[in-house]
Structure 1
Amino acid sequence: MTDKKNPLTSYLLSPLALVISSVLSPVAFADDTSIEVIEVHGQAQNKHLSLGSSESLLTDLGVDFSAAGGMANLPVLNGLMGDRVAVLVDGAQITAACANQMNPPLSYISANQISSYKVIAGISPVSAGGDNIAGVIAVNSISPQYSESKQLGWHSGYVSAQYNTLDNGKKVGAGMRIASDVFSFNYQGAFSDANSYEDGNGDLVLDTLYRAQNHSLSAAMRDDKQQLVVKLSHQKIPYQGFANQYMDMTDNTSYGVVAQYKRTFTNSELEAQLNWHSVKHEMGFFSAEKTGKMPMKTDAEDISTQLKWRLALDNNSQLLLAQEYHYMNIDDWWPAVEGSMMMGPNDYKNINNGRRQRIALLAEYESQLNTRWWLNAGIRFENVMTNTDDVQAYNPGMAAMNAMAMAMPSDAMAAKNFNNQSKKQTDNLVDANVLFNYQLSNNDELQIGLTRKNRAPNLYERYSWGVGNMATTMIGWYGDGNGYIGNIALKPETAHTLSTTYTRMAKDDSWRISANAWVSDVNDYIDVNGVRSFNRTALAANTRNVLMFNNLDATLYGVKLDAVATLHESKQYGSWSLKANITNTRGKRDDTNQPLYQIKPLQTQFAINQQVGRFENALTWQWVDSKTRVDSNRLENQTEQYHLLNLSSKASWDALTVSVDITNLLDEYYELPLGGVSIAEFKQDMSQGFNQLAGQGRSINLAMSYAF
């Protein structure tokens, strides 16, 4: 939150505050006679100093990440990960087109390209996005800037660079803009290259290396009532290691187009958007740190449209009507390996012409009811259709042979059974929300929200038909080493979430405390049931499970405490402030009370910040409790508690910004509670079993950004 009187409020971003910020920037009243306008923002302007993954930007807003590749970690909100979180890049949703979700939406944009971002955990208005139960992350790179001149000319530019000692990581970014009072053209690019990192013991964490580049070019034109923006994007990732997956990424090439149109009328505003995104994705092996031979390929395309009409009903209320369409098509096949009896002679068709279509209609009402009450209420109807064509195994002739020999489960027989089923599924979803903000007094407020949200199964959850050990272990974005089988009969997840946040601040705004509690009851939560176990060795520690996606009921709940305070202000020593937060999340299956997978344990963070002149300094301490509540179906590992100390310093001049960060200052060894297991390490030495993926050791990170 950013208060015009005091920037300290920018640190307190409760879920409901972010809801309010993302929708209306509401007016909060100090009392019945005195009006104070508070602008509430869930975003921050990027100075292009951050490079690489957007993870560093979003963690400050309460987003956790499930470890994957260096550019592809999966966001976690309120204990829910993957595509349970709606991620919008420039207003559009991009589907992860990979059986391991190696190319999630956030991987298609570099931090230096992001101009604004917001996070709405759990409680979100229906206009923020559908087909999710965890919340919404929205990152935006489209921000046209114009000049006052009628002639098209130079507007601004920047170059940025960063070096990390831990992984010899090198990142560069650049941008340039030319503009007039009517036209604006903007280019932004980024390149990242890193080796595998070392843990706190100085040991190499295998298969964590990567290389990536992102480019975007946008053009905008406007007049006094309307604006049109077109953005072209391109990404090339020639390789990216995934330590906790059996496969690696050996190519990800994508192209995208976003067109946005806005027009204002006397009492209304029209917004329209068209998005197209295409990706060619390949998996295999490229490094001696994890070897093998098995090509996998995916071609996918997203097409979506949005049409929004916002009507001002009076000075204090407005109505939003909107329609959305999203179509995704995917082909996922595994080319035959010449000379291999198991992987040939035919291509393995995992998903053949898979389709997922969403059509949504929504209405949302917002009003400042009086000097103390603000309301947001909405309803969203969504139709989701999924389908796929017939599939094939590597060797259809193996079905009868395996059946006669009573050997391992037969993929050939599974393909035949799958093709004999009706595969088209249609789900009708209804989302609804009611959100209130009540100003109790000049210094405290109460926020209450209740939502019903739905997510339909993705194509891999429904249509991953293989049953053999090799085929099933190619499916899954959980990093656990287990195998997964799809389930055509899966129902959509439906979450009913209640959240309340109480905030109190000092009269002089020198401190602020916020407490949030939430609970989410999820019907038909998509989890797993065990099918069988397998083991590639004779060691019990090497056992993994084959699991089938299934619906069950689950409950998640949590509490969050945030505080910020001014400690000292003087001309000589500058401004000193304290930030602190505590987060605790729990999740369980209702049928067995077993913990859900990858729920982060209790965590706290304290930061002392100083700003004096052109310098900003920070000392941050993070503590994460031991993880003892684990998912036994997925053979999830327990992890020990750990603490990390980080030190940062930044200096800014008119055009130049330079920073030095030391992360994990004490070089502590720790295991990532959301990291999954190190399959790369397991393949190097199977005698140690499936160990948890280790976190990064100490790193000195140098960065600079120069604007011109």
Structure 2
Amino acid sequence: MADLSNTPNTYLLTPLAFFIGSIFSSAAFADDTSLEVIEVHGHSQNKHLALGSAESLLNDLGVDFSAAGGVSNLPILNGLMGDRVKVLVDGADVTAACANHMNPPLSYVSANQITAYHVIAGISAVSAGGDNIAGVISVNTISPQYSQSNELNWHSGYVSAQYNSVNNARKVGVGARIASNTLSFNYQGAFSDAKSYDDGNGDLVLDTLYRVQNHALSAAIRDEKQQFVIKLTHQKIPYQGFANQYMDMTDNTSYGATAQYKRVLENSELEAQLNWHDVKHEMGFFSPEKTGMMPMNTDARDVSSQIKWRLNLDSNSSLLLGQAFYDYRIDDWWSAVEGSAMMGPNDYININNGQRKRIAAFAEFESQINTKLWLNSGIRVEHVNTRAEDVQPYNEGMAMMTMSAMPMQPSNASAAAAFNSEEHDKSDTVVDISVLLNYQLTHTDELQLGLARKNRAPNLYERYSWGVSNMATTMIGWYGDGNGYIGNQNLEVETAHTISSTYIKSAQNDDWQVSANIWYTNASDYIDADLVRSFNRFGLENTARNILKFTNTDAVLYGVKLDLAANIHQSKALGNWQLNANITNTRAKRDDTNQPLYQIKPLHTKLAINHQLGRFENTLSWQWNDAKTRVDNNRLENQTDSYNIVNLGSKASWGDLTLSAQVSNLFDEYYQLPLGGVSIAQLKKGESTGFEQLAGQGRSFNIGMSVAF
């Protein structure tokens, strides 16, 4: 639990805001981001020393990641991954526009661009966002800063660089700001380039290379009554390897715009926001580390608007009303390959003019009932509509045959005809409810309780992926398991009922703090996958995979987290020493079969000793992961051994210059990622005998610097 009162405001905009704002007068800005809720972690990142993926910032906040590309790993909260986690970038809801989720929301922002971030695991207030059952991750890159001058002058800037030896990664970040007391213009850019990394045995982990650049330009204007911000973004990823997918990313080009507005009225506050994001995404092959020929293309667009109005009922209570609209559209097609009997003569139309629209309204009451008790409760209603138009296979003729002498597969032509004969318009209305209580038992004892009902409607790939052949189905799925997936138009909305409790005990002198969190989720109509058939593309003894169909089932997830922070020693001669430790255990299973759910991280712990003396900061950390023995047999999930990783780092600052040095995986431990999926690249290259688990990074010497000016 961390206090978010220092987290920068988020200013929002829709066109209606300008009309409302022009009618009413306002007084002063107010901070509305100081809510404390169950399992909230927050931090302000201002030194720009962190570069590359935002994963480096979120790991310490209880976020796990399912391995994907170098900047595209998928966050996991409380054992739930993918779209079940709502990720907001500057308040914008961006959809992963890829059958393999190669471009999730966090992939569009670099760590050096992030000024603030917070994580709400499990139970979140309804205003934090809907269409999720796992929680909310929010990162903010918009943080206008002004000067005291009436003239527009140079304000601040920075240049940061980093090098990692394990994958020859080179990362650069730059920022520049000019400002006056009413205007602020800011540019933030980032570039990363990395080769495939080595594991703890010194072997190359194939197809883990990538290159990416990000650009963001923002402008803000304010007076004593209001503020308006607009931000423009551009990203270019010319290539990114995905070792645990059959395909790679060969291009991801996106443009985005965000406009935010805030105005405080006499007894209330108005926030509004408008977002637009467009992406053109291509998959194929680009590296000799994983070869093939199969182009896949995706064009997608997100447009959303939000408006919030907070009414102060009295000095201790407020009512927040909000409305939001989200419109996501996608075309997903696989171009025909000239001369190929399997992939031609037509383009394969996977999703044709797919649409997913959400209209939401919510009301949230917050009150500091007395000096000991704080309450937040709310209700959110969303209408979700999905639709898609008719599709087509590569070949309208007979069923395609697999390579070699394998049996005949189901016909994509027949599947397309069946899909086109059905009605594709689906609508769902869902209700989210949350209640959060914070009770100060004594000066040093705090109890937090939360209850929530959360919902998530199926995404377009879960509902409209219609192909049934081995090749077509293995192009669908963001699990990195080598299996194939078939969509299901009859999927129902996931509904999760969660209860969470956290007890926090602090020392009288604040020298230490211990917290214990326990949570339980009952998920109705959880979207899992059932076995349809098996196949063996490589013809080896242990290269069989499964074709699965998305289905609804009921599931149970529960877990416990223990955290400790303590000051060990403080003196002028030896500096400040602090101990941080945590241990987390999560369990999850299907109700009908008692089978474990996929990619649940086993028992794990982290212990870190932090030391600060003058300008020097040093960290020694130890991570331990238990063996993964509870696996999803439907997905042929691998078991993994337990492992230990030791990291050592140091940082020093001289005025505006900061230097850092780190050795990660100090003892060059070989380990397999329990959430890594399988290495398809190694198998295709003939360097393994089956679907082996993806290995983690070996020892790396990392150096970095940042200069502010």
Shorter-chain TM range is: over 0.9
For each residue in 1:666-699, what CA deviation from the matched residue of structure 2 results, as whole angstroms up to 9, or x when unmatched? 0000000000000000101176110000000000
For 1:299, the equivalent position in structure 2 comes to 299
Bigger mean CA offset, 274-283 vs 538-547: 538-547
> How far off its partner does 1:400 sit?
11
SS of the residue 1:461 aligns to: helix
Q: Are 1:86 and 2:86 matched, yes or no? A: yes
> How far off its partner does 1:406 sit?
8.5
Closer, same or farther: CA 424–59 of 1 in aligned 2, 3 Å = same
For each residue in 1:347-394, what CA deviation from the matched residue of structure 2 results, as whole angstroms up to 9, or x when unmatched? 000000000000000000000001110000000000000000000000
> How far off its partner does 1:601 sit?
0.1
Verify the 8 A CA contact 1:664 1:699 in the aligned structure 2. Answer: yes
Across the two proteins, how many residue pairs are aligned to each other?
680
Amino acid at match of 1:493: E
Closer, same or farther: CA 281–582 of 1 in aligned 2, 3 Å = same
SS of the residue 1:42 aligns to: strand
> How far off its partner does 1:540 sit?
2.6
For 2:34, the equivalent position in structure 1 comes to 25
Closer, same or farther: CA 336–499 of 1 in aligned 2, 3 Å = same
For 1:454, the equivalent position in structure 2 comes to 455
For 2:167, the equivalent position in structure 1 comes to 167
Verify the 8 A CA contact 1:26 1:368 in the aligned structure 2. Answer: no
CA distance, structure 1, for counterparts of residue 429 and residue 662 of structure 2: 49
For each residue in 1:633-678, what CA deviation from the matched residue of structure 2 results, as whole angstroms up to 9, or x when unmatched? 0000000000000001000122011100110000000000000000
SS of the residue 1:273 aligns to: strand
> How far off its partner does 1:397 sit?
1.9
Q: Are 1:214 and 2:214 matched, yes or no? A: yes
For 1:378, the equivalent position in structure 2 comes to 378
For 2:53, the equivalent position in structure 1 comes to 53
CA distance, structure 2, for counterparts of residue 4 and residue 380 of structure 1: 23
SS of the residue 1:416 aligns to: helix
For 1:578, the equivalent position in structure 2 comes to 579
Closer, same or farther: CA 600–687 of 1 in aligned 2, 3 Å = closer
Q: Which runs of 4+ in 1 moved over 4 A?
A: 1-5, 399-402
Verify the 8 A CA contact 1:145 1:184 in the aligned structure 2. Answer: yes
Within 5 Å, give how 1:124-163 maps onto structure 2.
124-163=124-163
Amino acid at match of 1:84: R
Closer, same or farther: CA 585–454 of 1 in aligned 2, 3 Å = same
For 1:243, the equivalent position in structure 2 comes to 243
CA distance, structure 1, for counterparts of residue 148 and residue 285 of structure 2: 53
Verify the 8 A CA contact 1:242 1:248 in the aligned structure 2. Answer: yes
For each residue in 1:140-175, what CA deviation from the matched residue of structure 2 results, as whole angstroms up to 9, or x when unmatched? 000000001000010000000000011110000000
For 2:533, the equivalent position in structure 1 comes to 532
Amino acid at match of 2:581: A
SS of the residue 1:488 aligns to: coil
SS of the residue 1:60 aligns to: helix
Within 5 Å, give how 1:297-696 maps onto structure 2.
297-398=297-398, 407-685=408-686, 688-696=689-697
SS of the residue 2:57 aligns to: helix
TM-score by length of 2: 0.94
SS of the residue 1:412 aligns to: helix
CA distance, structure 2, for counterparts of residue 158 and residue 547 of structure 1: 49
SS of the residue 1:622 aligns to: strand
SS of the residue 1:107 aligns to: helix
Verify the 8 A CA contact 1:346 1:393 in the aligned structure 2. Answer: yes
Closer, same or farther: CA 635–182 of 1 in aligned 2, 3 Å = same
For 2:23, the equivalent position in structure 1 comes to none
CA distance, structure 1, for counterparts of residue 654 and residue 554 of structure 2: 55
CA distance, structure 2, for counterparts of residue 184 and residue 324 of structure 1: 28
Closer, same or farther: CA 202–686 of 1 in aligned 2, 3 Å = closer
For each residue in 1:528-580, what CA deviation from the matched residue of structure 2 results, as whole angstroms up to 9, or x when unmatched? 00000000233230000000000000000000000010000000110001000
CA distance, structure 2, for counterparts of residue 27 and residue 658 of structure 1: 34
For 1:182, the equivalent position in structure 2 comes to 182
Amino acid at match of 1:197: Y
Verify the 8 A CA contact 2:652 2:660 in the aligned structure 1. Answer: yes
Verify the 8 A CA contact 1:485 1:548 in the aligned structure 2. Answer: yes
Verify the 8 A CA contact 1:499 1:519 in the aligned structure 2. Answer: yes
CA distance, structure 2, for counterparts of residue 224 and residue 638 of structure 1: 60
CA distance, structure 2, for counterparts of residue 519 and residue 300 of structure 1: 36
Verify the 8 A CA contact 2:41 2:119 in the aligned structure 1. Answer: no
SS of the residue 1:398 aligns to: coil
Verify the 8 A CA contact 2:4 2:36 in the aligned structure 1. Answer: no
Bigger mean CA offset, 40-49 vs 459-468: 40-49
SS of the residue 1:56 aligns to: helix
> How far off its partner does 1:45 sit?
2.4
Verify the 8 A CA contact 1:27 1:368 in the aligned structure 2. Answer: no
CA distance, structure 1, for counterparts of residue 594 and residue 3 of structure 2: 43
SS of the residue 1:382 aligns to: strand
Amino acid at match of 2:217: L
For 1:95, the equivalent position in structure 2 comes to 95
SS of the residue 1:542 aligns to: coil
Verify the 8 A CA contact 2:400 2:408 in the aligned structure 1. Answer: no
CA distance, structure 1, for counterparts of residue 201 and residue 637 of structure 2: 23
For 1:698, the equivalent position in structure 2 comes to 699
CA distance, structure 2, for counterparts of residue 653 and residue 182 of structure 1: 32
CA distance, structure 2, for counterparts of residue 221 and residue 465 of structure 1: 49
For 2:66, the equivalent position in structure 1 comes to 66
CA distance, structure 2, for counterparts of residue 400 and residue 637 of structure 1: 31
> How far off its partner does 1:260 sit?
0.1
Verify the 8 A CA contact 2:454 2:495 in the aligned structure 1. Answer: yes
CA distance, structure 1, for counterparts of residue 242 and residue 195 of structure 2: 12
For 2:269, the equivalent position in structure 1 comes to 269
Ranges in structure 1 where 5+ consecutive residues have no aligned partner:
8-21, 29-39
For 1:195, the equivalent position in structure 2 comes to 195
CA distance, structure 2, for counterparts of residue 633 and residue 45 of structure 1: 41
Verify the 8 A CA contact 2:354 2:387 in the aligned structure 1. Answer: yes
Verify the 8 A CA contact 1:539 1:687 in the aligned structure 2. Answer: no
CA distance, structure 2, for counterparts of residue 354 and residue 390 of structure 1: 10
SS of the residue 1:314 aligns to: coil
> How far off its partner does 1:267 sit?
1.1
Verify the 8 A CA contact 2:41 2:61 in the aligned structure 1. Answer: no
CA distance, structure 1, for counterparts of residue 99 and residue 36 of structure 2: 45
CA distance, structure 1, for counterparts of residue 149 and residue 81 of structure 2: 47
Closer, same or farther: CA 150–678 of 1 in aligned 2, 3 Å = same
CA distance, structure 2, for counterparts of residue 41 and residue 27 of structure 1: 9
Bigger mean CA offset, 637-646 vs 45-54: 45-54
> How far off its partner does 1:417 sit?
0.3
SS of the residue 1:682 aligns to: helix
> How far off its partner does 1:26 sit?
5.7
For 1:10, the equivalent position in structure 2 comes to none
Amino acid at match of 1:25: S
Verify the 8 A CA contact 2:342 2:400 in the aligned structure 1. Answer: no
Give the aligned CA root-mean-square deviation in angstroms.
Answer: 1.7
CA distance, structure 2, for counterparts of residue 492 and residue 226 of structure 1: 40
Amino acid at match of 1:333: W
Closer, same or farther: CA 3–353 of 1 in aligned 2, 3 Å = closer
SS of the residue 1:243 aligns to: coil
Verify the 8 A CA contact 1:171 1:190 in the aligned structure 2. Answer: yes
Amino acid at match of 1:608: I
